[in-house]
Structure 1
Amino acid sequence: MTNHLLNFFTVIDNQGGIIVRDAPKFDLDLYIQNYRGRTRFDRLFLIGRSSVPLCVDALKAATAEAKRGRDTQRYREVVEHLRIAAPNEPEATFDQAWLESTESANRNETHRLTAELKGYKNNLIKESIRMGNEDLGKHLESIGDLNGAAESYSKMRPDVSTPKQIVDVGKHLVRVSLQRREWSMVSAHLSKMGGNQNSEDEKTLQPYIKIVSGIALMGQERFHEAAIAFLAADAEVAASHYNEVASPNDVAIYGGLLALASMDRRDLQTKVLDNSSFRTFLEREPHIRRAVTQFVNGRYSACIATLESHRPDYLLDIYLQKHIPKIYDEIRNKCIVQYLIPFSRVKLDTMQAAFGGPDKFVEDELFTMIKAGTLKASVNTIDKLVTTVSPNSRLKMQADALETARSYEKQAIDRLRRMSIAAADLEFKGQRRTGGMHGLGASVDMFDETTV
């Protein structure tokens, strides 16, 4: 690492950023081709600020991406980063002419669209007002004024008249809310889009709603609900309908990781591996399918090793990066708990070999899990043994037998009482239960035994 890069990542580290020193398994050029829209810059910029091996290439690509748009603030930010990381690169010098011309064009366009919208409002033409607000919102979004864009898109709602227009407004607002990381607003806008399209449009919109909903739920750390959303996405719809948010590879990774973190073995088999639609996504990321299969088959250390080998890739994802430590901890905890179930005692050395590493001691992890209540066990540090705390099976069997006997006795007494009442041809008044049945036998059944 050069001195410039060292200084750059020292600053990033001091700011609390995540630094990934290992090279990811993806090719940067092929990776970014899966996306369109403003997310391309966001992803390149994150990789440039996080990945040591890809830092310079990603920042240079982000600079080129910024110049293809009209957001001058983004351009300034990425060039400032590149000037620190690689000051000798040609892209590290501000293109002052481009900045001035772009900012001038942005001001003129904003003024023109605002004037047009004002004219539409004076003429009281609803369709023109809707389109004017949409054009202004798209322009403000493209120059980085997300607050203004959200306001313009929101003003479209009173003037929409068709289901397609309702969906378009929802997509605009969802896109802005995603960029602002307002997860609750994303869910709110998605809820207004449902049920406003015909059957054909609904099929193409379904994966968009499921994927965006999953991202919003993941942002709120509602991992199980997010996994359900990703697993329900229709794989037959072309990625062009949602690739300004995520790619099919992302869906496989998000769904697989969150399912591993939040589902038990049976659900992983039925909802992930046996899910014919989601299997199409998994084919793009075979290591995710392999990790899920390894967990289902009880090969927990292999599952963790598979995931660890791809951790650098996940730490460079704009939606996953923040949650990877928690997701991985939950998967590891599940693996350790499942590993210990068949045993009453396990040597710490065996546990260390299965789940530890050169700089990771499983003993400390076990203490943390026991303290949190995740693992019911005790650790003998002298004899180096892990002893699981299992319920007394004989006591549980006796308690179940007694409960079954009490239930049978109660049912028998109730039936004998009813038979005696019916045999004596007795009638009595009481509070009837809900039902429309008639006859002596039915009437007896419909009274509480407290009235007898």
Structure 2
Amino acid sequence: MELISRYSDVNQMARGIYFLSELPSSQCAEIARFLVNKSISEDRIGFYKDISAIIKSRLLPNQNYGLLSDEEFVSWEIKFKEGADQREYKITQSKNAGLKDSYRVNILELAGYYYKAGDMNNSLKLLLRAKDLTVTAEQQYELYSRMTFTSLYKKNMSFTQNNAQKVLSLVTMPEKNLLPAAVIMGICSIDNANYKTATEYFLRTAGDNSQELACNSDLAAYISICALASMDRKTISNEVTQSKAFITYSEEEPKYIELLECFLTCKFNRLIQILEDIRKQMLLDVYIGKYMTNLCDEIKSRCLIQFMKAFKKIRISELALNFVCSEEDIEEKLVKLIADGKIDARIDAHQKTVMSRQVDEKNKVNRTVLNIAKSFMHNTQLVLLRMSMLKADVVVRGK
């Protein structure tokens, strides 16, 4: 319940439904009852349908979740349909009267009615009807913002990204109004596995979070995890840890600051411990949860690559100790990284050691200088030979 209480309105319902689908069924009873009561009391029939479907498919059948009887649900559905019909009648009236702006407003009102109820399909259809009626920048901002949120909850990520980009292109709007679209673009970038771009969009908010989609601790997690998975140490140090957005979002959760500091100072043992705690927490996040396992594996691989640069030879047991895992796991990870060409080393299976094939940088530079000098001497000799031939008039002339 603590996880849900941080959110409000449609976002709370969407995240609650995700919790029901991901948490073990034994832990869902209280959340299920809360969501059922909330959907009934706030007239959110679309969300109620999704919640009841999850309850019937995966939760314990013997508990009382507060679901309506079939007769009660039919009565509620009829009442909801009547409310939609009344709003549709207003749309028809304003259209027949030729009141264009009233026509647009009534369409948006019905779209909001469906949106609040959790019926994103009908809401989006109505918003598309209003597309040709928007004229001013303010009207475009309102329409594209609604379409962005509706398509996000509908889980149509490509359409969400398209509309969020349209919102960000409205340069006449105040920057503060564009920040929710920047957060949504970051979420879409996570879905596209473009983690560096996602970090840049989240940092663009400059710590001014509207709380419509994610609380501050969520954004701190998004930024730190995506940055570790995609950025080098210099970029993280200069652009992430010093940014106003990250400092603001991580005030309540200093572990995210410590996570980045551990990466910058190569304290990988502590980093792995913090990362594992964050992974367990963020697995239930509706936007990044399904990517957390892969993201954490990528971060651990980057840490291992960085760690190996400092050693010419090291025991696998010491690596396992530093990365808080078994020797078999670390050896398996090393084999994969070596095969992918990310670590230049070889494993001695008998002595259980890893030996890196490090390049002697001094000799490498000396060889490069020597090769450049030889090339220069060769080119100079050719030029001198050419000059001598011209001076001696040793030239083959055409007929």
Q: Is the 8 A contact 2:168 2:178 kept in 1?
A: no
Which runs of structure 2 are paired with 1:231-246 in the superposition (5 Å)?
231-235=203-207, 237=208, 239=209, 241=210, 243-246=211-214
Tell me which residue corresponds to 1:318. Answer: 286
Q: Is the 8 A contact 1:163 1:197 kept in 2?
A: no
Q: 2:325 aligns with which of 357, 360, 366?
A: 357
TM-score (norm: length of structure 2): 0.87
Give the Cα–Cα distance (whole angstroms) in 1 for the partners of residues 130 and 230 of structure 2: 39
Tell me which residue corresponds to 2:23. Answer: 51
Give the Cα–Cα distance (whole angstroms) in 2 for the partners of residues 214 and 274 of structure 1: 19
Q: 2:81 aligns with which of 80, 86, 107?
A: 107
Within the alignment, does 1:133 sit opposite 2:101 as a pair? no
Give the Cα–Cα distance (whole angstroms) in 1 for the partners of residues 271 and 204 of structure 2: 24
Within the alignment, does 1:90 sit opposite 2:64 as a pair? yes
One-letter amino acid matched to 1:85: L
Give the Cα–Cα distance (whole angstroms) in 1 for the partners of residues 265 and 102 of structure 2: 60
For residue 123 of structure 1, report the CA deviation from its aligned partner: 2.2
Q: Which moved more, 1:175-184 or 1:263-272?
A: 175-184
Tell me which residue corresponds to 1:213. Answer: 185
One-letter amino acid matched to 1:205: N
One-letter amino acid matched to 2:286: I
Tell me which residue corresponds to 2:10. Answer: 38
Give the Cα–Cα distance (whole angstroms) in 1 for the partners of residues 212 and 244 of structure 2: 25
Give the Cα–Cα distance (whole angstroms) in 1 for the partners of residues 275 and 65 of structure 2: 36
One-letter amino acid matched to 2:251: E
Q: 1:379 aligns with which of 343, 347, 356?
A: 347
- What's the secondary structure of 1:310's corresponding residue? helix
One-letter amino acid matched to 1:188: N
After superposition, the C-alpha distances for 1:301-348 in whole angstroms (9 at most, x for unaligned) are 211111102222110000111110111011000110111101111101
One-letter amino acid matched to 1:296: L
For residue 213 of structure 1, report the CA deviation from its aligned partner: 0.7
For residue 146 of structure 1, report the CA deviation from its aligned partner: 2.1
For residue 50 of structure 1, report the CA deviation from its aligned partner: 2.2
Q: 2:237 aligns with which of 269, 289, 308?
A: 269
One-letter amino acid matched to 2:230: S
Which runs of structure 2 are paired with 1:29-428 in the superposition (5 Å)?
29=2, 31-52=3-24, 54-82=27-55, 85-91=59-65, 93-96=67-70, 98-196=72-170, 198=172, 201-235=173-207, 237=208, 239=209, 241=210, 243-357=211-325, 361-402=329-370, 405=373
Give the Cα–Cα distance (whole angstroms) in 2 for the partners of residues 137 and 378 of structure 1: 61
- What's the secondary structure of 2:174's corresponding residue? helix
- What's the secondary structure of 1:90's corresponding residue? coil
Q: Is the 8 A contact 2:36 2:65 kept in 1?
A: yes
Q: Is the 8 A contact 2:36 2:67 kept in 1?
A: no
Unaligned runs of 5+ in 1: 1-27, 417-452
After superposition, the C-alpha distances for 1:111-142 in whole angstroms (9 at most, x for unaligned) are 22222212222222220121122112112323
Give the Cα–Cα distance (whole angstroms) in 1 for the partners of residues 277 and 297 of structure 2: 15
Structure 1 residue ranges (4+ consecutive) displaced by more than 6 angstroms after TM superposition: 406-413
One-letter amino acid matched to 1:274: Q
Q: Is the 8 A contact 1:47 1:54 kept in 2?
A: no
Q: Is the 8 A contact 2:263 2:303 kept in 1?
A: yes
Percent identity over the alignment is 20
* Root mean square deviation of aligned Cα: 2.7
Give the Cα–Cα distance (whole angstroms) in 1 for the partners of residues 40 and 213 of structure 2: 21
Q: Is the 8 A contact 2:37 2:66 kept in 1?
A: no
One-letter amino acid matched to 1:36: S
Q: Is the 8 A contact 1:79 1:94 kept in 2?
A: no
Give the Cα–Cα distance (whole angstroms) in 1 for the partners of residues 371 and 144 of structure 2: 55
Give the Cα–Cα distance (whole angstroms) in 1 for the partners of residues 203 and 9 of structure 2: 25
Q: Is the 8 A contact 1:106 1:143 kept in 2?
A: no
Give the Cα–Cα distance (whole angstroms) in 2 for the partners of residues 290 and 137 of structure 1: 44
Q: Which moved more, 1:305-314 or 1:140-149?
A: 140-149
- What's the secondary structure of 2:359's corresponding residue? coil
Q: Which moved more, 1:318-327 or 1:146-155?
A: 146-155
Give the Cα–Cα distance (whole angstroms) in 1 for the partners of residues 120 and 134 of structure 2: 21
Tell me which residue corresponds to 2:387. Answer: none
Q: Is the 8 A contact 2:165 2:181 kept in 1?
A: no
State the number of aligned residues: 382
Give the Cα–Cα distance (whole angstroms) in 1 for the partners of residues 254 and 193 of structure 2: 25
For residue 43 of structure 1, report the CA deviation from its aligned partner: 1.2
Tell me which residue corresponds to 1:4. Answer: none
One-letter amino acid matched to 1:341: K
